[in-house]
A and B are shown apart, each in its own frame.
Chain A
Amino acid sequence: MAAGKQAPEVRTFPPLDAQISGVLKKARRFRAGFAEHLAFWVRLADAAVSSAGLFAMARPNTQPEDKGHDGLIFEVGQQSSQAELQSVKNSIAKAKPLVSTAGFRNKGVATAGAQLDDFWLVQNNNIGFVRLEQMLSEVTTSLGLTPDAIARQALLAQCAFNAVVFADPGEGTHDLFDGYQHVTQSALGRVATFVGANTWKETAAAVQDATLAILAAKGLG
């Protein structure tokens, strides 16, 4: 360094977290993560339009393969509140096997991995409690609820499942969510969201490309 001359400012960017980088660069993982994040915003946007009271949604999973439920929205009211557990799947081929197994659709026999089967396991086998606990903690913190108010919401809450599917529009058939009745007898407890993207594979790839381009422009990669 020459004397009397101020060193030029050097801005450095941290390298991307290896796991995040893995999600961004693998098409299949990106699609899954993208679906989860998109579902998060879709549901929040829906709540912003439809909810009469306060609401909050737990952050989506960091990794698309993370265990447990993909989302939880909590809408708070004085006399009632609604908690909706969300599971997100995406498909570039056949969506139906991801939604439920044939055994579940026909006989209600659940096998872990398919969306409705997993809901059944939540409903009957206590699967995923620690993730549920984590998400509830996030939403109650976001909502700024006092201990008394949390107790009140605990007793007022009504629960529902929301099966969210991203796929090509042709996959959104009338029988896509067959077997949902095995999860819960309450019709109000069964929510299904189909997001048809034309075509889903190309849509996700385009977003992936754009994302990587933005990051590259910022020196992250």
Chain B
Amino acid sequence: VYAERLRAYVKELGNLAGLSPDDVPLLEESLACYLALFARVVQGEATPRADLLTASLRLALLTRSLVLSDASGGLDGVHYLVAMGYEQGTASLARVRLSERPDDPLENDDWYRLLLATLHYLAGGYRVQALCTRRAVADAAGPSPLYASGHRILTAAFEGGGTNASALERDVAALTRGHATASESMAGLLLAIRHRTDVLLSHLGEHALETWGQRHELDPTGTDFWGRYLRRLRERGFTSFTREQGHFDEWLGRDRDLLVQLPTGAGKSIIGELLTALHLAAGAAVVWLLPTRALVRQVKRDLRSAFSKLGVDVEELPTTEDALPLFAEEAPVHRQVAVTTPERLAALARANPASLTDVRLIVFDEAHLLLERTRGVTAEHVLRVARAAPGGCRLTLMSGLQDVREPLERTMRALGATPRVLVSEVRPTRRIYGVVTDEPHGPEHSRVSVLVHPPSSNAAHPDVLPYAVQLRPGKRGPSDSKTDIAARLARSVLDSGLRSVFFLSSRRSAESQARTLAQKAKTPAGTQFRVPKSATARLRLELGRQAVVETTAPHRVAAHHSGLTPLEQHLVERWVDAGEVRTVFATPTLAQGINLPFNLSVVGYTDRFNQNTRKNEPVPAGEIMNMLGRAGRAGKVPDGLCLLALESPRTDRRRLMRRSGSVYFAEPVSRGAVGLAALLSSGYQAIGAPEWPLELSGVRSFSDAQTFLSLALRIAATGVEDAPGVGAFLEAYPSVSVIDARLRERLATAMASLIAHLRAILANDPVALQITARAGLPPEYCAAIASAVATAPVGEGDYLEWSDNAVSAALARGSARAWHRDLFAAHSQDTVLLAIREWRSGKSVSALERILVNGKVTRAHVGEFLNHQMSLLAQFWAAVPVAAEARGRADVLEATRPYAALVRDGVPTVDALVWLRALGGLDRVLAKGVAEASPLATTSLPQKQRAARKLVTQWRSGRAAPPSNFAIVLEDVLADIE
């Protein structure tokens, strides 16, 4: 269960001490200390009992040993183990206060131990881990001014030992007066940190900038830029690099491509940042690709912190991802960083082929997106385009997954790159895996037990006797299902200060458990979370009704699932991040890429109902691990306790551990195909059939079908139609070029058949073919839109009503087809189109619920519809301007171009769309209102964007007053905007 890396550290320590790793008891003792603290906060009892005296004695001696050792070190792993020991044995868990806060910080044991932990982490190069302990040090500090000395010592440590040695000495002396050993320990560790930093930063050219600049072919301006960047690194506390990161000569250069495989939070970003800085120094533009808008926003914030003070613009590409995107004129230029998604970059490159001219580096974070069937195709396409841009573009692909190195490396090679590979398995957080169950306690009682795999547990021996924390006994309930066990644990941890997420199999279950726990919680009024009035007003405006979270959040409980609006999801996440909400019942949606500071994650189901097979099926181990992985967060929560809820076998704990071992020790499923190859392999057997373009059935999703249609006609547009020609076209895609030749032949044959069938269905009409290719929609629909545009009235100005009717009529043409049945399975086409009109008019969510909720369809279903179906349906409007362009109808093109974005985002006008983006993208109803209250006088889209952003800045700074009727809501919204 413990990472192999920790075992390597234990071996390192064993070598230092001249002992076998088996004689190094640190991991076991540290785990016992951690569980003892956990037991205390949940009022339980831990076995085996922790021996803090022994643990403390070992750590104090090891600190002494390291302090007396040569500062040039080579003992990174030992520093890590010592820091971990201090951290796990103190009250950092859930920031629980176990002691008073004496005036003398060194008498505040938690504070002092956490300070030592921070220094050890930094001395070993573990900056992210040090961030956790530094936070905990701040939390444990008392009011005495001596604590400020400690704070300054840590600031200096993060700056690599500080720049003012005498001031640092004074602080150490002030803090440690009368404690000679403490003084020696701090001074010794600071020396080790300084030594480490000096070595690493000199490798980055800090002390020989000119030579370094020449070696990297930078002109004097570029060298100066690099020097200023290095100073910013120190200021920001980035002076500590792990062993893997520290080999700069191997990966830091403008003449190389790089594949980075590091766990999330383990320092991928700083690698991308250093490469970005180097390319910026050379005057180039850099693009960062991220899979989601949430990550785009987060990375934009981080990169701004790195580069804004150096005069570099870091902007999110404003482009929309439509066939005819909005804002396509804003391309990244000289010494600029653009942050975006693959879809938006693809749209930009399509609309503005010169947009990538200045780009010399693409940093693709979470690059395993290439392995997704639909989005992977776009991602692969973007990389191809960038690689082929004049001037050449280097690639840095980064992923936190362990099983994707081979396909990603293969893809890079097929793109003509020979990547250096940077691999590490050092996780920034530790995960402690186990089981939560319900054990009998007498005839009528039972007690919830947390059973944890000990460090010696492994795939061969998963059933080692576990470490245990038993909660107080209670009356046995009517059921001991996994959900009930999870719910009982949730009740126990609610008042503990721990932040916990409980994954349940359904939205209904997540919501009902959140309500029940909130109702049963006896939260005293003084400790309830007072939901800000501005947040309540914001929710009410968007939803048009009370939100569930309004009733549960005061008790520090919330539900999080895909049926909530993005605004509700966002507020829950924000409140969890701030520690206001501590217990979340979630569906797996929360596991998709969101990092929140949970101490505890519990999965309350191991199988689920499959609608297709009508059977309960086991949830794949990888999916469970992904959910459990939400516990622990780099820089915030060092240890995640990950528990699988299992019914007790009543007799033998080892059996439970064996069962959970099948999840925890499962071999990762190797991932094979990437991008286009993955898509083609999944659907080629269906697409060759003559009726497939009409029905679009037999592939995994409507999006997959769209990609097949679009690709087939893009191939046809190059004049290639026969199977060998199609095969040659496909082979140009790196992912396809490396798959088995016979499979490639079959794919080409299927695609060639699809092209022939499409031509037949569309009667070779070039306009209809072009629309189908660009919009990727059912050919019958595209043909109908092509006809409608041909006969559209001239000079209408506003074509919205006309477009709605055209889309409706064209959709109706496919009413007998499988794709239409799937799309409108829950509601008729007319009902859906009515709901879309309401949505697009900027009405609250409750207006749509009045239309869509019925006996079978709940509010949660509506939320899911809005979150997922709406962007798909919006594409039917996107076909209209494409048809107008193909038909040469400039008037229709101009008017209808934004309609798809309006449908997707749920606002009535372009101004409202601009306001929606300027206000953070979550508050549609507000955006509509603000657009009416603060009209944007300018005409072009970029000008409107700038005007809206300027007003937002003025509102935030108080230099201008926001519209008075939205003042309360804007208070919350503006506080949210970076």
Contacts and interface: CB of A to CB of B under 8 A. Distances in A.
A153 to B, nearest CB: 6
Given A126-B90, A132-B56, 15 more contacts: A123-B51, A126-B99, A126-B109, A127-B109, A134-B181, A136-B60, A150-B61, A151-B62, A151-B78, A152-B19, A154-B57, A154-B58, A155-B17, A159-B57, A184-B51
Interface stretch (B64-72, B337-345, B473-481): B64-72
Contacts of B69: 147
A146 B66 CA distance: 11
Contacts of B106: 130
A153 B62 CA distance: 9
Q: How large is the interface on B (under 10, 10 to 19, 20 to 34, 35 or more residues)?
A: 35 or more
A81 B733 CA distance: 65
Interface in A133-174: 133-134, 136-137, 140, 146-148, 150-159, 161
B56 A126 contact: yes
Contacts of B816: none
28 contacts: A124-B50, A125-B52, A126-B52, A128-B109, A129-B56, A129-B60, A130-B109, A133-B182, A137-B64, A137-B181, A137-B184, A140-B64, A147-B66, A147-B68, A148-B18, A150-B62, A150-B65, A151-B17, A151-B62, A152-B17, A153-B61, A154-B17, A154-B57, A155-B19, A155-B23, A156-B19, A159-B51, A159-B53
B98 interface: yes
Contacts of A186: 51
Contact of A159 (B16, B54, B107): B54
Contacts of A157: 54, 57-58, 61
B740 to A, nearest CB: 54
Interface residues of A, number: 35
Contacts of A140: 61, 64
Contacts of B59: 154
A125 B113 CA distance: 12
Interface in A43-62: none
Contacts of B50: 124
B340 to A, nearest CB: 48
B469 to A, nearest CB: 15
A124 to B, nearest CB: 6
A75 to B, nearest CB: 13
A85 interface: yes
B416 interface: no
A132 B89 CA distance: 15
B24 interface: yes
Contact of B99 (A125, A136, A150, A151): A125
Contacts of B49: 184-185
Nearest to A153: B61
Interface of B: 13, 16-19, 23-26, 36, 49-54, 56-66, 68-69, 78, 89-90, 98-99, 106-107, 109-110, 112-113, 179-182, 184-185
A83 interface: yes
Given A124-B36, A133-B182, A148-B16, A155 B53 contact: no
Contacts of A124: 36, 50, 52
Nearest to B68: A147
Contacts of B23: 155-156
B14 to A, nearest CB: 8
* A interface majority secondary structure: helix
B17 A129 contact: no
B744 to A, nearest CB: 58
A108 B658 CA distance: 35
A122 interface: yes
A99 B410 CA distance: 71
A40 B181 CA distance: 21
Nearest to B36: A124
A132 B113 contact: no
A154 B23 CA distance: 11
Nearest to B89: A126
B62 A154 contact: yes
A18 to B, nearest CB: 16
A67 interface: yes
Contacts, number: 121
B24 A155 contact: yes
A154 B109 CA distance: 20
A147 B53 contact: no
B65 A132 contact: no
A33 B375 CA distance: 76
Nearest to B61: A154
A152 B18 CA distance: 7
B184 to A, nearest CB: 7
B36, B61, B99: most-surrounded residue (chain A CB, <10 A): B61
B206 to A, nearest CB: 30
A154 B53 contact: no
Nearest to B19: A155
A151 B112 contact: no
A133 B181 contact: yes
A115 to B, nearest CB: 15
B67 to A, nearest CB: 8
Contact of A136 (B61, B89, B112, B179): B61
Contacts of B107: 67, 130
A44 B263 CA distance: 52
A201 B25 CA distance: 46
A122 B53 CA distance: 6
A83 B57 contact: yes
Interface in A81-135: 83, 85, 122-130, 132-134
Given A125-B99, A155-B58, A157-B54, A150 B64 contact: yes
Nearest to A134: B181
B53, B78, B107, B113: most-surrounded residue (chain A CB, <10 A): B53
A27 B631 CA distance: 58
Contact of A126 (B62, B78, B98, B179): B98
A184 B48 CA distance: 11
Q: Which 9 A-B pairs have the closest CB atoms?
A: A154-B61, A137-B181, A150-B65, A152-B17, A126-B109, A151-B65, A151-B17, A147-B68, A159-B54
A83 B53 CA distance: 10
Nearest to A146: B68
B64 A136 contact: yes
Contacts of B181: 130, 133-134, 136-137
B735 to A, nearest CB: 51
Nearest to B182: A130
B581 to A, nearest CB: 29
A151 B16 CA distance: 7
A156 B499 CA distance: 37
A208 B17 CA distance: 47
Contact of B61 (A85, A129, A151): A151
B903 to A, nearest CB: 60
A153 B51 CA distance: 17
A155 B182 contact: no
Nearest to B53: A159
B397 to A, nearest CB: 41
A117 B90 CA distance: 19
Contacts of B19: 152, 155-156
Nearest to A124: B52
